[in-house]
Each structure stands twice: as C-alpha cells, then as structure tokens.
Amino acid sequence: MTWVHPDATFGATRHAGELLARLPDGTIPTYRVGKLLAERLFVDAWDRDGGWWQGPENGRPDQQPAHLVPSCECGWYGAEIPYDVTGGEIPRPGQEPMRDGASRTAQAAWRDHAAAALTAAVPEPHRQALAQLAATAAELAEERPRAALTLSRQLRDLAALLEPLAVAGALAHHVTWDTIGADLGQSRQAVNGRYVKPSADLSDRVHRLTGQTVEGLLSLARGRGTPPPGAATWAEEIRDLLGSPEEDQKHTEPAAQ
C-alpha cells in the first residue's frame, strides 16, 4: 500500500508513504528485483479479516504479519504497530465494520512524518503567540529598556536550547542538511559543521537537555524507527533560564570599577 502526500510543493514526492509489515519471526519479507532486494508492501483489508502481501507470487508469505511498519520513500521508518487481523472500528448501526484500524494508525504516523518533513511554516496558533510576544517585548523596550535587554538575552538563550532539539527532530524525519540550513537562514556547511565539530557550549547544552553527546543525539536521530530523545530537563532548563527577578538584577548589575 502506498500513500501520496497532497502537498504539491517541491520534495513532496520524496515522501510517498508505504505500508510494510513484520512477520512473527521478526523479518520484513523481501523479493529480488534484478540485483536489488525490495521489501514487500502489505495491504490491510478493510472489509474482511487480515490482508495480503504485494509483490511476485514466488516467495510470498502465507502468514499474516505480527506488526505493521509505516515507512516512507525518503528512508524513514515509523514505530511498529501490533497487528490484529480482526482489528478496526466498531461500526455504527447498519454499517459494516472497518477492519483496517492498524493500517490507518500506520498511515496517520506517516502523515505526521510527512508534515514534519515538508512543512516549514509556523502553525497559526504559534504565529499568533509569537506576535503577541513581539508586541509585549516592544512595549517593554519603551517602558523598561533594561528589562527588555534581559528578555532579549533570555530569548537568545532559549533559541540556543531549542535549535539542537529541532535539528535532531528534523534529521529523524530525514530532512537534509541543505533544508535544515535553509530553515535556519544559514548555509548547509555552516550548520553541518557546527554539529559535526560541536563547540563546548553546544555539547554542554545537548548533554544537559538529553543526557547525550551531540554525536550520540544525531546518531539516535538517524536511527531506524527510533525518535531521538526529547528534552528530559526542559522545564528545569527554562526555570534556570528565566530565573527570578533578584537573579536578573544580579546578572545585569555592572561590575564595580
């Protein structure tokens, strides 16, 4: 089964989704196409129990899978979904049951992946929140300029915390370094170099947030079907970043001459 993303923008065709499946022995069935080995796609029937394997008849499994695996042509693999051959939605009165619940769960996971990989636009609720913050910051700059300077520092520090998590998340969805650089308004070489040879400051931030080295975080991000760790200490880091009014005052007092 193949899913096509409705987004007609450049790169959307690179993210066509495919439904794979894993047998009870843990393998994903394959078949040979010339010298290449292709993974068999699986179709989960909506109108009857179970489903069927696509591909050539020769070597086609006679077993139903134990798990479904959402995947994408870009190389992304989602988390495995336990497969119940009778699974699906409870029908409404007078309707037939839909027995492809697991495959629709897989499709939803792929859809989330495709949106993450293709969409750089900030969602409208977040844009509105950012606009409100910008308006508040502008008022603060007029009324309390030193407080606005403190806020500017805090926002800069927040962006520094957010970036490595976003980079790892993008790599987990097979976003290229070229695209990551463009999203950050920088060149591929600048961004890639910053993470291949991380500074002590970047290494410290990543370790505080995730317990990983920068190399370890990026390796986990590229792992098949395994999302990178989130910010386990995010709330703590934000509390430290914001501090208290007394700490802000100490931080901004100039040293005695």
Instruction: Please write the tens of the pLDDT for every residue from 143-188.
Output: 999 999 999 999 999 999 899 999 999 999 999 999 999 999 999 9
**pLDDT at residue 55, as a whole number:** 92
To which H or E segment does residue 181 belong? helix 177-183
The tally of CA atoms less than 13 A away on the side-chain side of residue 76 is 30
Identify the residue with better confidence: 123 or 242.
Answer: 123
Task: Kindly tell me the burial class for residue 5, based on how many C-beta atoms sit within 10 Å of its own C-beta (0-12, 13-18, 19 or more).
Answer: buried
Q: What is the pLDDT of residues 178-195, one digit of tens each?
A: 999 999 999 999 999 999
- Tell me if residue 112 falls in helix, strand or coil: helix
- Could you tell me which residue, 103 or 239, shows the higher pLDDT? 103
Please calculate the CA angle 48-49-51 and round it to the nearest 5 degrees: 90
Domain boundary among 93, 118, 143: 118
With b for 16 or more beta-carbon neighbours within 10 A and e for fewer, the 119-156 pattern comes to: eeeeeeeeeeeeeeeeeeeeebeeeeeeebebbeeeee
Q: How far from chain centre, in Å, is Cα 197?
A: 23
54-73 pLDDT, tens per residue? Answer: 999 999 999 999 999 999 98
Q: What is the mean pLDDT of residues 39-50?
A: 90
Number of domain units in the chain: 2
**Of the candidates 73, 93, 118, which is a domain's last residue?**
118
What is the pTM (predicted TM-score) of this model?
0.78
- Give dist(CA 233, CA 83) in Å, integer: 35
What are the tokens at 78? Answer: 């989602």
Q: Kindly state whether residues 107 and 25 are assigned to the same domain.
A: yes
Note whether 68 and 143 are same-domain residues: no
Q: For residue 74, what are the domain limits?
A: 2-118
Last residue of some domain: 71, 96, 118? 118
